[in-house]
Structure 1
């Protein structure tokens, strides 16, 4: 982690803090479990919507090559932090969901749970960690910068976006502000019951409004401002909001 901090601080990251109404999505997940017995991961659902929105606008996960060239990818490879057991402790480990924009929430749920139950990569490499840490910090940072300079290698090693679910550690309102090396990142906070204004009726002249408690999700979207400008970022946030709030894709297997 220390090796990455220098790279993170070089990036000009901007953050957008959102509050989304996920009442319909949570209801759809409960109904699916009642009808099929399969418990979908809410994080997997949000990840599927995030990947779908990126796939619709590949500029959102473009990687820089050299000074001016941006490389765009059709496949959206997202890193998801998965809690795994390492020496009797719960450790968040990165798992890359390949081509996440082509996968349903159910497929991503199964993949995440398989990763949780499977072999932990850190357990296979930790014996080399003490030797690596003996290398001076500035050299380690230089090596990482060189490794990640190639967009295709970087995509293979780290993915092109990341989803972090801090809401798994407790309920309630809260937005995390992450440090990141990714062109686009999504940090999933907690869910709380909050009053929202609900608009009824399709006719603008005869719409009614009422206030009712809704399930509201705290989300932080983070963009590399050297890759993504403000207007495209705002449109992306609006599209992601629409997908998540409408329970998009939950009818898929």
Structure 2
């Protein structure tokens, strides 16, 4: 008996998807450990909301705030973003960069493949500057150096045989300066949108090249123990952010990773937008 051929549609895979496949193949060969943590972002969200209400032309984003916190914490212990030098003759060398180049994923259009944008020296930028840069990359993708400079090169690269691409990746790992220039030093990604709104959600992603990766999950409203003004602990409803911290265990051991995670939670919960960021309206009141 002959049946009709099933109806289907063939879609050509874009070159960005080829790079994602390569990243997954590389990540499977690494020794990555994961830590799941939670941070109370109630005060941070309120401060950002208040800022945006009084300064509508200079809005701050929550992602920019988290990026700023990551930059501050990594700058205090840059070893967590160190790159292990590849090659059989240099296995014991780790190159540690002082400045933090944070990669964020930008999705300019719905259902379009997100592209990485590197925020250079994020540890030296204000939340306002980071917000502006992310917004610019989102609204004008080709303003990002990763989109403008490498689009044609990436198309050529992904047209090569996979075995040749993997060889090039191995050669890249022998030069951490090249990796920093092309990939940044820390990866920040967010998959919180997959969870049901208000119920949080934990995300675990692969880590192909970077030593440190931060994955933002969802934000849930739940009872949380917090001290009041008198130092007495109370149980109050709070906005809790799920975060997954990923480390290359060949570079960062468990104790150092735990200290980093603890410092990141503390920095996020302090809800200080930035020492150098001041609301223009508040500045006028002080004068």
**TM-score by structure 2 length?**
0.79
Q: Give yes or no for contact 1:7–1:145 (8 Å, CA) kept in 2.
A: no
Is 1:220 equivalent to 2:240 in the alignment? no
Q: Give yes or no for contact 1:28–1:250 (8 Å, CA) kept in 2.
A: no
Is 1:15 equivalent to 2:37 in the alignment? no
Distance change in 2, residues 1:127/1:227 (3 Å)? closer
1:72: which partner in 2? Answer: 96
Query: Which of 27, 33, 47 in structure 1 is aligned with 2:46?
Result: 27
Is 1:178 equivalent to 2:205 in the alignment? yes
1:142: which partner in 2? Answer: 167
Distance 2:108 2:83 in 1: 29
Q: Give yes or no for contact 1:195–1:214 (8 Å, CA) kept in 2.
A: yes
CA deviation after TM superposition for structure 1 residue 168, in Å: 4.3
Distance 2:250 2:225 in 1: 36
Distance change in 2, residues 1:97/1:134 (3 Å)? closer
Query: Which of 159, 165, 170 in structure 1 is aligned with 2:184?
Result: 159
Cα deviation code 1:54-94 (max 9, x no counterpart) = 00101010111230011111110011101113xx8533110
Distance 1:240 1:130 in 2: 37
CA deviation after TM superposition for structure 1 residue 127, in Å: 6.0
Secondary structure in 1 matching 2:112: strand
Distance 1:112 1:105 in 2: 11
CA deviation after TM superposition for structure 1 residue 22, in Å: 0.5
Number of equivalent positions: 247
Distance 1:130 1:250 in 2: 39
Distance 1:128 1:150 in 2: 19
Structure 2: gaps spanning 5 or more residues: 1-19, 278-287
Distance 1:96 1:126 in 2: 15
Is 1:93 equivalent to 2:115 in the alignment? yes
CA deviation after TM superposition for structure 1 residue 140, in Å: 1.1
CA deviation after TM superposition for structure 1 residue 5, in Å: 2.0
| Structure whose alpha-carbon radius of gyration is higher | 2
Distance change in 2, residues 1:125/1:72 (3 Å)? closer
Distance 1:79 1:168 in 2: 19
Query: Which of 51, 54, 63 in structure 1 is aligned with 2:71?
Result: 51
Structure 1: gaps spanning 5 or more residues: none
2:125: which partner in 1? Answer: 103
Higher normalized strand content (fraction of residues): 1
CA deviation after TM superposition for structure 1 residue 199, in Å: 2.5
1:187: which partner in 2? Answer: 215
**TM-score by structure 1 length?**
0.89
Q: Give yes or no for contact 1:51–1:78 (8 Å, CA) kept in 2.
A: yes
Q: Which deviates more, 181-190 or 166-175?
A: 166-175
